[in-house]
Amino acid sequence: MTLTLNRPKQREFAPSELLETLRRLEKQAEGGCSQHPVDPRRLALRDITKAPQAFNIRSDKDQHHLVQLVRSLSSVTDLSPVLVMRCGDQIVLVDGHYRLEAYGFAKRPDIPVEFFRGTVREAYVEVVTRNAAPTLQMDNRGRMDCAWNMVNACFSRAQIVRASGASRAQVAVMWKAQKALGDEAGQITEWRRAMREAAGKPMAPLLPEEADAMIEAQAQDYADRLRKACGTKLWTNPEIGARAIALCSGRKLPDLVLHLKNHLTEAGHEWISANEADEDGASFY
């Protein structure tokens, strides 16, 4: 006998701005377009419609990145094509908001484009996937914000995990926070704020793996901020990095060292034992 496990029916929440925008674009796309021309390789800037509530997933405004793109256009013919899709008679920008803005600043009349083939929701998954990859500019906080907004837009856990890089446990925590927040959830676009708001409301207890996922996400957020502030200096100059951490830690330094030991590999323990032994040959542990 085959058993089918169904996920419990979720409560209906007030739609988020993202969800409302996706639904509007889906309705436009269902209507088709009055003509079916061959998709061009370039478009005039004025012919591209922005839908920032859906596709401009970056919450920060990186002026330095925009300036770099404008400067690049002074020495190259084109940047890489922006991603667009047809929604009825409109051509909507999916990915490439900074590039489109840079072309405008550079007073370029048109821009190279690539057309997305798929549904509106598939386009959203694509733009999150492109921007949330760890090799790109988006940090962990941005990836968690994307995952939270996808939760509020009723994407599946598999889609959220694949697109944003959030773990299954992190998504489970977001579902619990959404349930605790109720209709307020869809009005909050930042995951950190959602966590703060949910902390003051009755919320289902976290499983051990979910609590660990929360710690991991917060640690990754701190790591991103350290990298932005210090670059590679902490590990390319380990003696100075260690002193800086010691100065920040104060009396809590022994606790920090104790927890750092838990993150060492076996090879790391062996290296320290071989290189940090005292005069009697005893390890500093």
Mean pLDDT of 117-121: 91
pLDDT band at 253 (very low <50, low <70, confident <90, very high): confident
Mean pLDDT of 105-123: 93
CA distance 135 to 143: 12
pLDDT for res 207: 85
For residues 137, 140, 144, 149, the Cα torsion angle rounded to the nearest 10 degrees is -10
CA distance 244 to 252: 13
Enter the pTM of the model. Answer: 0.58
Tokens of 77: 């013919």
Identify the DSSP state of 31: T
* pLDDT tens-digit series, residues 36-81: 567 899 999 999 999 888 888 775 666 767 877 887 887 678 999 9
CA distance 212 to 209: 5
CA distance 229 to 61: 18
* pLDDT tens-digit series, residues 168-195: 999 999 999 999 999 999 999 999 899 8
Identify the DSSP state of 133: S
Sign of torsion, CA 221 101 126 187?
A: positive
3-class DSSP state for residue 282? coil
96, 82 Cβ separation under 8 angstroms: yes
pLDDT for res 29: 86
Give me the phi and psi of 110, to 5 degrees please: -145, 175
* Fold classification of 11-119 (topology level): 3.90.1530
* Cβ-proximal residues to 195 (8 Å cutoff; 6+ apart), any chain: 177
Domain boundaries, the chain: 11-119, 139-231, 232-285
CA distance 24 to 88: 11
